[in-house]
A and B are shown apart, each in its own frame.
Chain A
Amino acid sequence: MRWSKLLSMAAIILGIVILGITAAVPLPIFKNIPWLPWGNQTILGLDLQGGVHVVLEAKDAPNAKVTDESMKRAQAVLERRINETGVSEPLIQRQGDRRIIVELAGIDDPEQAVMDLIQPAYLEFKNELGQTIITGADLKDALEARDPNSGQVEVDLTFTKDGTTKFAQATTANVGKPIGIYLDNELLQNPVVQEPITNGQARITGYESLEEAHTIAILLRSGALPVQLDVMEKRTVGPQLGQDSLDRSINAGIVGIVAILVFMLVYYRIPGLIADFALIFYALVVLAIFIGIHATMTLPGIAGFLLSLGIAVDANVIIFERVKEELRTGKSIRSAIDSGFKRGFVAVFDANVTTLIAAVVLYFFGSSMIRGFAVTLSIGILVSMFTAITLTRWFLHLAAAINVVKDPRYYGA
């Protein structure tokens, strides 16, 4: 009887240790398994890997009023622009009537990315009289290229079928005259038409690098923004600060957790040791849930997670204090554990529900960064109640059944 309990206890501890090692320790044998250590699967927020969070608001212009339709098109244009740059997992979200939130993580130059994003990219070809003959809406494709002969960088334009007809007519009518190419009302070039162009091809030259031409080509391909977008709020985090924050948080987290573990062990002894294992298991479960629901870990999120550790410990502390009291009244260890848990849990439940209320309110009123905090705190509270009443309790009973420690003093009483 004792041996089987001892074995199951050893098995649980071994399980937690293995879970912990596979989560966090980059052992050489994990090298060939891409998902190990699995803790690395956590999606890092832009404040931990660098990136930008920007709130854009559409402004009415005399010739372009903001409508639901134009906002949808604007969002589609933004999506195309971002997808073309190959940013992984961008967030592009409509907020209210005329706002769009964009979040890009893991980019080297977040500031430039924002500038490219909000550029209207309105392309026009105008004749000598200043009349528009063709616009970016008639474009089928735009590609950057380097002229093999001259080495000049250019953007090659291909017009749609309609565009080709329009362009052919305009160039026929304007042979010997200049046609101006304007991007966002800025004159790029003013070439003179040598002969009618009927194949629907045109090109813009004069770029300093292939990258510059590449950016322009993306903007032209994704189309012009139908409305003017202004930056209402922007939070840029450079890659350097992101890395700093991540390293520091991990450090702070380790120190904080170790301090809790030592404190619990010294103050509560056997139950403290059990609570420590339960706490490690708790931390791993929470981490696994974050990964499972694809939650993004942000700096406030880490703070929320660490604070939820405090709550998890609290559940144990409340219950252990009760168990100690029950022991003092002369109950046996096993019945003291049972009634301690029963009485302690009411307090844990009521206390946690009120904290949960605060977290939920934070979620609904907070900005996206604060939401990360609210989510981790809420998940933490829920999981902590679960591990405190299941794992810790089961563990304590096993310890009592093994009978190695009969003396109530080992329970801190």
Chain B
Amino acid sequence: MFNFMQHRKIWYIISLLVILPGLFSMVTRGFNLGIDFIGGNLVEVRLEQDVKIEQVRSVVEGLGYAASNNVQKSGTSDYLIRTRELTEEESATLISTLEQKVGEVNLLRNDRVGPVVGREITINAILSLLVAAALMLVYITFRFEFKQGVAAVTAILHDVLVVLGIFSIFQIEVNSALVAAILTIIGYSINDTIVIFDRIRENLRMRKKRETLEDLVNVSLWQTLARSINTVMTVLFVLLALYFLGGTTIKTFVLALLIGVTTGMYSSMFNASPIWVDLKLLEKKAK
């Protein structure tokens, strides 16, 4: 039987190899922040006539509304236009000018976010992550023990860093839905961790005299392995269906979940439990 615990240094190294480039990218390049965080307008239009992307771009730039990376194709005849924050009149001008220059326009969506709101969303995002982590720590301490809480929250941090790192490395646009995605990932990841901890808790009660903590955790991981894989599989079915077939507006949300659910399973098995064992061993040494 493969021993998960013997190789735990390797699991830590793999985690670091994934996280460190992401951290480096976050520090040096930061994120591709969407309008939710920096303010502006995001207009998506469907054009009835076949036009070149340059034509759309020249209209936006001609009006002086453009923001960086201002026009993108988002579907066969759909275009995403990013602009500075537009007043309602300016939005109307944009649409009517487009209609004059490139033919009939079907407005799919128009999101406008003021800079004040952008700041609020950022603050709320950070606050909600901290509150969620604190509450989970409390609950796990109450139901299990503090050290397991610390291990679980470390695993959560791992997942958050992996997702954020990938979004930074590939400069995927970040919007407020990412915050929701990360909180969901936390929920799922901790769900996995708890199921394993529950097994450890149960096995501890029937622990044989000679059994080491490493062996006990290793057995617990094996006992929950089928469940871990099966559950992640079913969630991935849903997420893949949503990613390839679902609405375009929630694509990045689903992408974040896909990354997060996968890393969540990894961190539950290869980070949370080993970290707890190492914390326990440290405590023993200290004594």
B134 CB → nearest A CB, Å: 10
Contacts of B235 in A (CB 8 A): 307, 310
CB-CB contacts of A232-244 with B at 8 A, as 1s and 0s? 1111111011001
Contacts of B116 in A (CB 8 A): 232
* Distance in angstroms between the alpha carbons of A358 and B129 in the assembled complex: 9
Contacts of A353 in B (CB 8 A): 139
Contacts of B125 in A (CB 8 A): 365
Chain A residues numbered 212-256 whose CB sits less than 8 Å from any CB in chain B: 231-238, 240-241, 244-245, 248-249, 251-253, 255-256
In the complex the two chains form, is B128's CB within 8 Å of A366's CB? yes
* Distance in angstroms between the alpha carbons of A114 and B247 in the assembled complex: 25
A202 within 8 A of B: no
* Distance in angstroms between the alpha carbons of A382 and B253 in the assembled complex: 23
* Distance in angstroms between the alpha carbons of A321 and B242 in the assembled complex: 28
Contacts of B131 in A (CB 8 A): 361, 365
Q: Give the residue name and chain of the B residue nearest to A236 (CB).
A: B110
Contacts of B206 in A (CB 8 A): none
* Distance in angstroms between the alpha carbons of A346 and B143 in the assembled complex: 11
Contacts of A115 in B (CB 8 A): 88-89, 92
Chain A residues numbered 278-337 whose CB sits less than 8 Å from any CB in chain B: 299-300, 303, 306-307, 309-311, 313-314, 317-318, 321, 325
Range for the number of chain B residues in contact with chain A: 35 or more
In the complex the two chains form, is B112's CB within 8 Å of A233's CB? yes
- Given the known interface contacts A365-B131, A370-B180, the answer about A354 and B199 at a Cβ–Cβ threshold of 8 Å is no
Which of B139, B198, B231 is within 8 Å of A317, CB to CB? Answer: B231
A64 within 8 A of B: no
In the complex the two chains form, is B247's CB within 8 Å of A299's CB? yes
B46 CB → nearest A CB, Å: 6
In the complex the two chains form, is B135's CB within 8 Å of A256's CB? no
In the complex the two chains form, is A299's CB within 8 Å of B249's CB? yes
A347 within 8 A of B: yes
B191 within 8 A of A: yes
Most buried by A among B88, B121, B226, B257: B88
Which of B44, B46, B176, B246 is within 8 Å of A248, CB to CB? Answer: B246
- Given the known interface contacts A307-B184, A354-B139, the answer about A343 and B223 at a Cβ–Cβ threshold of 8 Å is no
In the complex the two chains form, is B111's CB within 8 Å of A314's CB? no
- Given the known interface contacts A307-B238, A347-B198, A357-B132, the answer about A232 and B117 at a Cβ–Cβ threshold of 8 Å is yes
Q: Give the residue name and chain of the B residue nearest to A354 (CB).
A: B190
In the complex the two chains form, is A358's CB within 8 Å of B132's CB? yes
In the complex the two chains form, is A231's CB within 8 Å of B88's CB? yes
Range for the number of chain A residues in contact with chain B: 35 or more
Q: Give the residue name and chain of the A residue nearest to B113 (CB).
A: A233
Q: Give the residue name and chain of the A residue nearest to B118 (CB).
A: A233
In the complex the two chains form, is A259's CB within 8 Å of B237's CB? yes
Contacts of A231 in B (CB 8 A): 87-88, 112, 114
Chain B residues numbered 167-218 whose CB sits less than 8 Å from any CB in chain A: 176-177, 179-180, 183-184, 186-188, 190-192, 194-195, 197-199, 202
Q: Top 9 nearest A-B pairs by Cβ distance?
A: A358-B187, A365-B128, A245-B247, A256-B241, A355-B187, A256-B238, A259-B237, A310-B235, A252-B245
Instruction: List 28 A-B residue pairs with CB atoms under 8 Å apart, sorted by A's residue number.
Output: A234-B110, A235-B109, A235-B111, A240-B106, A241-B108, A245-B248, A248-B248, A252-B246, A256-B239, A257-B238, A259-B237, A259-B238, A299-B249, A299-B250, A303-B246, A303-B254, A307-B257, A310-B235, A347-B199, A354-B140, A354-B190, A354-B191, A356-B187, A358-B132, A362-B183, A364-B128, A365-B127, A366-B124
Interface residues of B (CB under 8 A from A): 44, 46, 87-89, 91-92, 95, 106-114, 116-117, 121, 124-125, 127-128, 131-132, 135-136, 139-140, 143, 176-177, 179-180, 183-184, 186-188, 190-192, 194-195, 197-199, 202, 223-224, 226-227, 230-231, 233-235, 237-242, 244-250, 253-254, 257
